[in-house]
Amino acid sequence: MKFFLLGSLIARYLLGGGITLAEESDFFGQIEFGENIFNAQEEVGRFSLWGELGYRLHYAPKAQLQRLGYRRQDSEITSSRTVLRLKTEGQVNDKLFLQISGRTSYDKAALDSELEQELDEIFIDVDTGFGTRFKFGRQLVVFGESDYFQVIDVVNPRDERELGLAELDETRLPVFSSRLSYIGRRWGTDLVLLHEFRPNRLADSGDDFDLFVPLGGFSQIIQNPDPELGSANPDVIVRGFASFPRGDISLVLAETHLYSPSIVGLTDGRFVIEYPRSFMAGFAANYVYGHWVFKVDYARREDVPFLRGDIEQQISLAVQPIEAALEKTRHDLALGFRYSGINDLSISAEVLSQYIGNYQIELSDQQLQSASVVDVAWETLRDKLSTSLLWVQWWDAQSGLARLRFEYDFSDEVSLYGGYIDYFSSDREGLLYPQRRNDRLFFGGIYAF
């Protein structure tokens, strides 16, 4: 039974909404309602070139758990990565804005080290008149108020290869899409069509953060083909939003595929995973009161697969075919705040609750699950030294992580950072119990030009 309990924990994490440690800026979210949109762009005919050269090093101080089949055995350097990012953007004419960005990286400490090259954001942004704009290409589209949980933020997948360790600008992945927006003085609408499916990036088989290690690794998983999206069958998201004197509210409807793999079957003793499509309806709002910002995100997502806990009984009774999962409606509610009333100090906290509707006792997941995040950041030495303390807790899984990070800005172009992250679990069946030896010392530097 332990085998299937571990599978349940993995499914719970994969279905539970990822944690992100960054939020990319959204173009439309930066613009005040009623503002001339070109005030936020470059002058016509002028293009800017931006670049960043970075290096990071991760060291695992603890030997890994051998019985689970991780590839790493002893304490060692697990990452020594150099990253080059380039971006050019500018106003082609008074109607057209263009951005192209890409990155190249190489990790000489990785077991399967290779040069990675990728076009990042590449899009055109066109003023189509009468308050409307059309944005087309690989882009980031940020919806919702939560900084840490994906509730109604369903457009862009995430890089989850190193939980809590990914660089801040690497967590959200752009997708090829079309976005038609209307921006009025106090309200607006968005229609987004996704023409490309990109799942969350997960760790390779046997890596420290391979969530399938308790099941024997990714080699013991059967993956159905990825969804094929195009102009004729895109994923669709519709948003309406309004601005008020002390806050904003938005409503979102979406028919999209889940970016985390779901266990949907069992074949020859191996779990079958895929990325199912589901309908989501939700809203997000924020309210500003003095030095406080209060936030709420809610989503009702249909047809979410949940792993059954009676698979061994089905096998013993020779049930055919084995029913490994049940589709249910999931309700996600995130509440949070940010306080900045003390000089050079900010405190953010969020709580996520997930409730499974029409619950059945056959499910291996609990009907109500919760997680929380507390993030404290402060600046000292004339704002040159930034210190942050992050604590993430999955309460029902009795697991969490804590990260202490320092960053020192020598100038506008050069900065160094370092810190330590600890993963813990007080329950042998806890979500992060197989990864409790993944603690990291990390160091790095960035040169911007």
Residues 79-123 pLDDT 10s? 999 999 999 999 999 999 999 999 999 999 887 777 999 989 999
| Cβ-proximal residues to 39 (8 Å cutoff; 6+ apart), any chain | none
pLDDT at 20: 45
- Between CA 333 and CA 353 the distance in angstroms is 5
Radius of gyration of the chain (CA): 22
- Between CA 157 and CA 171 the distance in angstroms is 8
Asked if residue 144 has pLDDT above 80, the reply is yes
| % of the chain beyond a pLDDT of 70 | 90
- Per-residue pLDDT reduced to its tens digit, 312-323: 999 899 888 899
- pTM exceeds 0.85 for this model: yes
Closest Cα to residue 14, out of 200, 153, 196? 200
SS3 percent helix, strand, coil of the chain, rounded to 5, is 10, 55, 35
- Per-residue pLDDT reduced to its tens digit, 185-240: 999 999 999 999 999 999 888 889 988 887 777 778 999 999 999 888 999 999 99
What's 59's DSSP letter? Answer: E
| % of the chain beyond a pLDDT of 90 | 71
Angle at 298 between CA 293 and CA 304, to 5 degrees: 145
Burial of 67 (0-12, 13-18, 19+ CB in 10 A): exposed
- Between CA 24 and CA 145 the distance in angstroms is 12
